[in-house]
Amino acid sequence: MKNVAILGATGSVGAGTLEVIRRHPSRFRAAVLTANRRWEALDALALDLDPDLVVLGTPPPAGFAPQWAGEWRFGADALADAAGSPGSDIVLNAIVGFAGLDATLAALAAGKRLALANKESLVAGGDLVMRALRGGGGELLPVDSEHSAVHQCLAGRPVSEVARVTLTASGGPFREWPARRLATVTPADALRHPTWSMGAKITIDSATLANKALEVIEAHTLFDLPYERIEVVVHPTSIVHSLVEFRDGSSLAQLGRPSMEIPILWALGYPDRLDDARRETGFDPVRDGPLEFEPVREEDFPLFGAGVAAGKAGGEFPVAFNAANEVAVERFLSGDVGFRELAEVVLRTLERFSSRAIESVEDARRVDTRARAIARDPHGEPKSGDAE
Ligand code: NDP
């Protein structure tokens, strides 16, 4: 029996994780549940699952009166402490955004198995995360479906045998929209993902293709793969989750209908393949074919190229890209900027940063905070190189 801490339990990946855990009561138990603000939803989960601890990332709000009578803790530090505490064997980090970095580092420093959905941790904290993994002696299993596919196809083979990895992208809701129509995109349009049902932030990232740039950086960091060996192809039905081509010319792919429960189960149960096959998620060649692929429309979705370039340039750039993108998404969802301006917000922010190395989590936090300030208001911030 493994005790699992589910960080971001009230979200989309959190819900998928709880489904998987409910189907395997003799193997996994929800020991810790966390959310940010939605305490009523967290309270309902706690009543159902009776964990050892629940944590809210914010202070108790006015009117806080939970029905579950167990231990509640509050604040970002309590969240990171819960990730590193001995009460769990596996930490599944499904927090959204840079806010997940501290928990990622705490879980790895404590030598846990970290099942990581929070890709922003790897983008903003790449070297720090891999250092914590080596130092803590734990394990890092990807939950992102593309990276889970790569992990499954690699099956322990060394990266030196890999010729290239091809990450698939659905292309998002605007894959077929002509460029001029993109100016008219509303948040409601962008929140309508064709193949995946996900939280708002990653759904917008999928519409702009920023998500695929984050995933290229994630693959580079996770698998220690040079950027030249990572490619992206659009695959509208999201059946092939990614491909690995080996140096002998063989390509392996992992397939399945879009469901996060497959990569979640893999990350929780690895190296075992647990008995969980459900007809609706299995691949059926007749029903699910033909499998079509097309190139990414890089000129119409500039956040993809900008993000990959930020990853390649390294240092402050990926941290700033991630932070500016988070702010741009918030601004788009609140109606403050249009769909096309999302990229402008990010590109203008990146101009103020450099590839100076990120040595510590404090460094990463400083760049993140500064990039957010610039992305919110480019005029209210000192130029690059000025004192912060
Ligand atoms: P959701 O928005 O559905 O859920 C986010 C969860 O994180 C909620 O539980 C939320 O709590 C909590 N949270 C939000 N902000 C904070 C914070 N500042 N501190 C602590 N907790 C916070 O997101 P998703 O489940 O869609 O995505 C989670 C992560 O997984 C993201 O990094 C995403 O990129 C990645 N991912 C998601 C996939 C998907 O299918 N959804 C696929 C692959 C990767 P509250 O409810 O209180 O707001």
> Which strands form 28-35's sheet, in the order they lie side by side?
71-74, 53-56, 28-35, 2-7, 90-93, 113-116, 139-142
Q: Is 199 in the pocket of ligand 1 (CB under 6 A)?
A: yes
Structure tokens at 217: 């950086």
The residues, any chain, with a CB within 8 Å of residue 181's CB and separated by 6 or more, are: 174
Question: Is any ligand 1 atom within 6 A of the Cβ of residue 256?
Answer: no
Mean pLDDT of 153-159: 96
Please tell me the residue having the least CA distance from ligand 1 atom 26. 199
pLDDT tens-digit profile of 319-328? Answer: 999 999 999 9
For the chain, percent of residues with pLDDT exceeding 90: 94
Could you tell me if the CB of 66 is within 6 A of ligand 1?
no
Q: Where are the beta strands (DSSP E) in 36-148?
A: 53-56, 71-74, 90-93, 113-116, 139-142
Among protein residues, the one with the nearest Cα to ligand 1's atom 5 is: 11
Tallying the residues shown for the chain, one arrives at 388
CA of 12 to the centre of ligand 1 (A): 7
Six token digits for residue 323:
């932070």
* Residue 152 confidence (pLDDT) above 50: yes
Task: Dump pLDDT digits (tens) for 171-204.
Answer: 999 999 999 999 999 999 999 988 888 999 999 9
Q: Is the CB of 99 under 6 A from ligand 1?
A: yes
Q: Nearest CA to 139 among 105, 109, 114?
A: 114
Q: What is the pLDDT of residues 31-73, one digit of tens each?
A: 999 999 999 999 999 999 999 999 999 999 999 999 999 999 9
pLDDT tens digits along 11-23: 999 999 999 999 9
Q: What is the mean pLDDT of residues 120-129?
A: 97
Average pLDDT, the chain: 95
pLDDT at 385: 45
**Pocket mutation for ligand 1, best pick of 38, 96, 217 (most atoms within 8 Å of C-beta):** 96
pTM: 0.96
277 three-class SS: coil
13 lines ligand 1 (CB under 6 A): yes
Instruction: State mean pLDDT over 334-346.
Output: 96
Helix (H) or strand (E) holding 242: strand 240-246
Ligand 1: centre distance to CA 200 (Å) = 9
Tell the residue nearest (CA) to atom 41 of ligand 1.
Answer: 198
Structure tokens at 279: 């007809």
When pLDDT is averaged across residues 68-94 and rounded to a whole number, the result is 97
Per-residue pLDDT at 381 exceeds 90: no
Residue 378 pLDDT greater than 90, yes or no: no
pLDDT at 335 exceeding the cut of 70: yes
Please say if the pLDDT value at position 375 is more than 60.
Answer: yes
Answer yes or no: is pLDDT of 284 > 90: yes
pLDDT of residue 85: 93
Q: Is 15 in the pocket of ligand 1 (CB under 6 A)?
A: no
The string of DSSP letters for 302-336 reads: HHHHHHHHHHHH-THHHHHHHHHHHHHHHHHHTTS
Give pLDDT, residue 194.
Answer: 86
CA distances from 45 to 10, 40, 51, 88 (A): 8, 9, 9, 18
